[in-house]
Amino acid sequence: MAHTFECPECGNPRGMQGACRQCGSEEMPQAHGDTLVLNLKHDNPRAEEALDRLTLALRRATEVGIKVMIVIHGYGASGEGGRIKWVIHDALENNYFSDRVHEYRFGEEIAFGTEAYHALLRRRPSLKSHLKHFKEGNAGMTVLILGSHARIA
């Protein structure tokens, strides 16, 4: 995700969160495109830490105009690292993120060419380049469509 965001002050590529490493600006970065890949597995955090990171990233992503987030959480193998997937699935199913996440699709539900896959691409064509490789789906990731639920009081 290194080049997904740009600093509005110095124009250098920067991350979504924190200050610009080039100029220290804390201005909201500008997003290129509407899709963000968030890898929660790369440094093997504890599951609770991964959930905290997702919470922060979701808050920021909705602020900078990201519309869809692909969360890489791994396949849910045994061991501490494998818990990340289940903690995130649980949080989604219990509406923990319902103020930020309008809809979600687990990777195994959106195998290339299925009806669910095409329905998702109609809504978010930018996902195609991320999903077209996964003929069997990819159980190591979940797609989040950002935006709040329209609630009826």
Q: Which residues bind Zn ion (CB under 5 A)?
A: 7, 9-10, 20, 22-23, 25
* Nearest to Zn ion of 9, 108 (CB atom): 9
User: Shortest approach of Zn ion to residue 39 CB, angstroms?
Assistant: 23
Write down the least CB distance from residue 9 to Zn ion, Å.
Answer: 5
Q: Among candidates 35, 53, 56, which has minimal Cα distance to 44?
A: 53
Q: Which residues pair with 72 in a beta bridge?
A: 39, 141
114: left (phi over 0), alpha (psi -120 to 50) or beta: beta
Which CB sits closer to Zn ion, 17 or 55?
Answer: 17
Burial grade of 138 (CB within 10 A; 0-12, 13-18, 19 or more): buried
Q: Least CB distance from residue 20 to Zn ion, whole Å? A: 3
Q: For Zn ion, which is the closer residue by CB, 30 or 39?
A: 30
